[in-house]
Amino acid sequence: MLTAIAPRAIAGTGLVRVVAIVGFGLAVVGLLLLAAGPLGWRAGWWGYQFAFMTLMPYAFGSGVAAMAISAFALTATVGRGMRRRVVVAALGLLIGGAAAYFPWHASQMGGTYPRMHDITTDFANPPSFEFAATMRAAEHGASAIYPGGDTAALQRKFYPGIEPAILDVPPSQAFDRVMAVVKAKGWTIVRADRDVGIVDAYDRSFWFGFTDDIAIRVTASDSGSRVDIRSGARQGRGDYGVNATRVRNFLAAVNREMP
């Protein structure tokens, strides 16, 4: 095993060159596996479960192995005038670290957040995801129907204080404010109906391209208007808190005084 050989003892041999190349090669493989997950999911080649549960662990393993081998090669070559081998080993160490970091980070985050992905301001009558029902079925994703009591209990426990926005303006002005916020956030609007006070939209994550559906409802209230929102992922069981953050940021923007 390489770990049983003193790095300096092989510095002048051809073995160190092979070791550096192997480390770099494993790093590239790890990076390719990391990229293949979202690319294959977006292209429809495989499901997100395969990307998360198979490709990402393989990317992590390749990255860790690349770091260990490249670190060995770097120790054997640094300071000995072997510039090319130093560069190859250093690249293997850096690329391997990147390939290992992202799966590790995702795994760490997964243990921090509850296993839920549907957030709303109205548990009794949440805004409808019916507009996305066909797309969810086509993607074999989550049902458009709100999950109910258990999800509401998790939200109360882990994301307390998410409540409707109560605005001291008539519904027409509240709808304009909602539309301004939705457009500013760059969400894709599926439907915007001023007469019924409904805005249906979706947003996609940068890396995997996961789709989160967003339904907003504007109704009249005693003090002016009430704005409810629901944001939920089409895929998966957890969302790393993305939907709760989206809802809170939206409500903060709507409640903020608009010019």
Give residue for tokens 């939206």. 250
pLDDT in tens, 78-121: 766 567 888 999 999 999 999 998 888 777 766 677 888 899 99
Q: Name the residue ranges covered by the structural domains of the chain.
A: 2-110, 118-255
Q: Where are the alpha helices (DSSP H) in the chain?
A: 15-43, 48-50, 56-77, 83-110, 133-138, 149-158, 171-185, 242-255
Q: What is the DSSP letter of 197?
A: T
Round to whole Å and give the CA distance between 27 and 93: 8
Q: How far apart are CA 189 and CA 193, in angstroms?
A: 11
Q: Of the segments 66-75, 186-195, 234-243, which one has the largest average pLDDT value? A: 186-195
Question: Average pLDDT for residues 128-144, to the nearest whole number?
Answer: 90
pTM over 0.85: no
pLDDT in tens, 13-34: 568 788 889 999 999 999 999 8
Longest dimension (CA), the chain: 83
Task: Identify the CATH class of 118-255.
Answer: alpha beta
